[in-house]
């Protein structure tokens, strides 16, 4: 019998099929360790007293967090709250010597785990989740402060009704567009509450060769994102079977097919274009759908280099029969490692990091708060010069889709993306792609690797 570490390792390898998913794993530079600072105030009466220097290991697993964000939202606040506490930073992508299945045998001992809800099944199977319910009750920590959609999603990852993670930030996805490309071809800008049918119509108008340069309306999201938008299940925990051969999954992949069947939408017969490269670097793609924090980082970089894009944003496109519903609820979160020797201290730090002061500063700098605070959300990106005059009100009209998680989302979603690519490149029709994906996913689920 293989160990659970080997089983999860195989799951992670399969997930690499969908590693192009934006917002889950960032290529941002890895933050350095934070240093302690002199005490500035007396500790609150309900916080653990730290009189001796303590080093806590901050473990970021496959979730975007830049060096600047790590220092501004974690290191600096912690210096004020706990001057005797120093953070040691470690990072891992999906695989490698410090990946989730290897971290404990590597000699590292995480204290605070930072990841996304997408990775929760991995930590659940590895039993790397501390039950936070007793500490929540003891400290009277109000979980109802968080966005109800986040809490509903979080509850679906728990089999026993207990809480194993605290939300930190919410991934927010508008539709970005380059106004200059629309103006160049005399095409009206996308409107608030556009549907995918509207975007396909724009794709037809904008995808063309002009003076030897291939322009595109949009580079389609991966197949998984269309299924997520419809809150589709990847697998059934009870039957241990994939659930891909449904009319709804056909509907999801059909949108992807329609976006790519327009001449010029693909890069070649065997290659799809890269959305970030063609939108930000080449500026030959008119529209872009991804998480706002990473997109605004790229737009800020362009402005800082003296090459600002003439852009705006609007609501994420929806399906015609589900108007106003955007991408699935996707959030970054914090967990206490069950191997930590300082669990109560780590939980107190987590509580502090969700304070309104820190969450507001974070939101103003384009990482959306996880709190249920509409006034705060309206201040999203306020501190960024590139956000001045942008259509934030319209972008915020989108509601998040729900989720139907299973223990097998990690490997099966990668298989779905592979199926989507085969449809996009016209290698398979939608029915064949889903049938083949179902068979591959069933074998993966049934294999000893991910039982």
CATH number of the domain at 26-92+109-172+329-396, out of 3.40.50.1100, 3.20.20.210, 1.10.260.40, 3.40.190.10? 3.40.190.10
Would the CATH topology of 26-92+109-172+329-396 be identical to that of 175-327+404-450? yes
The residues that bridge with 178 in the sheet, in sequence order, are: 311
The kind and range of the H/E element at 268 are none
Q: Residue 361: which of 74, 60, 47 has the closest Cα? A: 74
| Separation of alpha carbons 303 and 283, rounded Å | 14
Rg (CA), the chain: 22
| Cα-to-chain-centroid distance, residue 227 | 15
- Write out pLDDT tens, residues 65-74: 889 999 999 9
pTM given for the model: 0.86
CA dihedral 229, 444, 410, 257 (to 10 degrees): -30
Q: Do β-strands 399-401 and 325-328 pair in parallel, antiparallel, or remain unpaired? A: parallel
CA dihedral for 6, 7, 10, 15, sign (positive or negative) = negative
Q: At what angle do helices 409-424 and 247-260 cross, to 10 degrees?
A: 40
Structure tokens at 16: 């690499």
Which segments within 231-272 are labelled E, that is strand? Answer: 235-236, 241-242
Can you give the pLDDT at residue 125?
86
Residue 62, phi-psi category: left (phi > 0), alpha (psi -120 to 50), beta (remainder): left
- Write out pLDDT tens, residues 1-52: 434 344 444 444 444 444 433 344 443 444 444 433 333 333 344 667 777 8
Residue 101 predicted with pLDDT over 70: yes
What are the two backbone dihedrals, phi and then psi, of residue 289, each rounded to the nearest 5 degrees? -120, 110
Can you give the pLDDT at residue 27?
38
Query: 320 vs 307, 323, 443, CA distance in Å?
Result: 37, 6, 34
Domain definitions of the chain by residue range: 26-92+109-172+329-396, 175-327+404-450
Residues ≥6 apart with Cβ < 8 Å to 448: 1, 2, 7
| Separation of alpha carbons 7 and 121, rounded Å | 12
Residue 200 predicted with pLDDT over 90: yes
Can you give the pLDDT at residue 447?
84
| Separation of alpha carbons 253 and 434, rounded Å | 9
- Write out pLDDT tens, residues 106-138: 888 899 999 999 889 889 988 999 999 999 999
What is the average pLDDT across 276-302?
96
| Separation of alpha carbons 429 and 23, rounded Å | 29
Q: What CATH code is assigned to 175-327+404-450?
A: 3.40.190.10
Residue 449 predicted with pLDDT over 70: no
Residues ≥6 apart with Cβ < 8 Å to 327: 171, 173, 225, 228, 229, 316, 400, 401
Q: Is 178 exposed, middle or buried (0-12, 13-18, 19+ CB in 10 A)?
A: buried
């Amino acid at each position: 019998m293989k160990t659970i570490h080997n089983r999860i390792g195989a799951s992670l390898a399969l997930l690499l099929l969908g590693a192009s998913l934006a917002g889950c794993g960032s290529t941002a530079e890895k933050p350095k360790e934070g240093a302690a600072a002199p005490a500035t105030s007396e500790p609150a009466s309900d916080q653990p007293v730290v009189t001796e220097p303590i080093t806590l290991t901050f473990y970021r697993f496959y979730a975007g967090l830049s060096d600047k964000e790590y220092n501004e939202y974690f290191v600096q606040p912690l210096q004020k709250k706990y001057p005797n506490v120093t953070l040691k930073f470690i990072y891992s992508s999906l695989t490698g010597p410090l990946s989730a299945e290897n971290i404990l045998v590597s000699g590292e001992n995480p204290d605070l785990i930072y990841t996304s809800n997408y990775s929760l099944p991995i930590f659940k199977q590895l039993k790397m989740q501390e039950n936070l319910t007793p500490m929540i009750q003891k400290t009277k920590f109000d979980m109802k402060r968080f966005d109800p959609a986040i809490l509903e999603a979080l509850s679906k990852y728990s089999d026993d009704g207990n809480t194993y993670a605290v939300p930190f930030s919410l991934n927010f996805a508008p539709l970005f567009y380059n106004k200059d490309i629309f103006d160049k071809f005399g095409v009206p800008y996308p409107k608030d509450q556009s549907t995918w049918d509207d975007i396909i119509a724009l794709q037809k108008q904008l995808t063309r060769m002009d003076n030897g340069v291939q322009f595109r309306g949009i580079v389609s999201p991966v197949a998984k994102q269309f299924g997520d938008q419809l809150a589709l299940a990847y697998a059934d925990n009870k039957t241990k079977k994939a659930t891909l051969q449904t009319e709804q999954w056909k509907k999801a992949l059909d949108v992807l097919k329609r976006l790519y069947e327009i001449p010029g939408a693909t890069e070649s017969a065997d290659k799809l274009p890269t959305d970030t490269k063609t939108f930000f670097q080449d500026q030959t793609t008119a529209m872009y759908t991804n998480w706002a924090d990473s997109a605004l980082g790229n737009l800020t970089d362009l402005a800082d280099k003296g090459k600002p894009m003439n852009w705006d944003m609007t609501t994420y496109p929806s399906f015609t029969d589900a108007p106003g519903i955007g991408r699935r609820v996707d959030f970054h979160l914090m967990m206490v490692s069950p191997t930590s020797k300082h669990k109560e201290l780590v939980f107190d730090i987590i509580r502090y990091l969700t304070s309104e002061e820190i969450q507001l500063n974070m939101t103003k700098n384009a990482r959306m708060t996880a709190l249920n605070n509409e006034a705060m959300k309206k201040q999203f990106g306020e501190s960024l010069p590139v956000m001045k005059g942008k259509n934030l009100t319209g972008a915020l009209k989108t509601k998040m889709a729900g989720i139907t998680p299973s223990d097998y989302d990690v490997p099966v979603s990668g298989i779905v993306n592979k199926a989507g690519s085969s449809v996009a490149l016209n290698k398979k029709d939608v029915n064949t792609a889903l049938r083949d994906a179902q068979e591959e996913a069933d074998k993966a689920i049934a294999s000893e690797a991910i039982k």
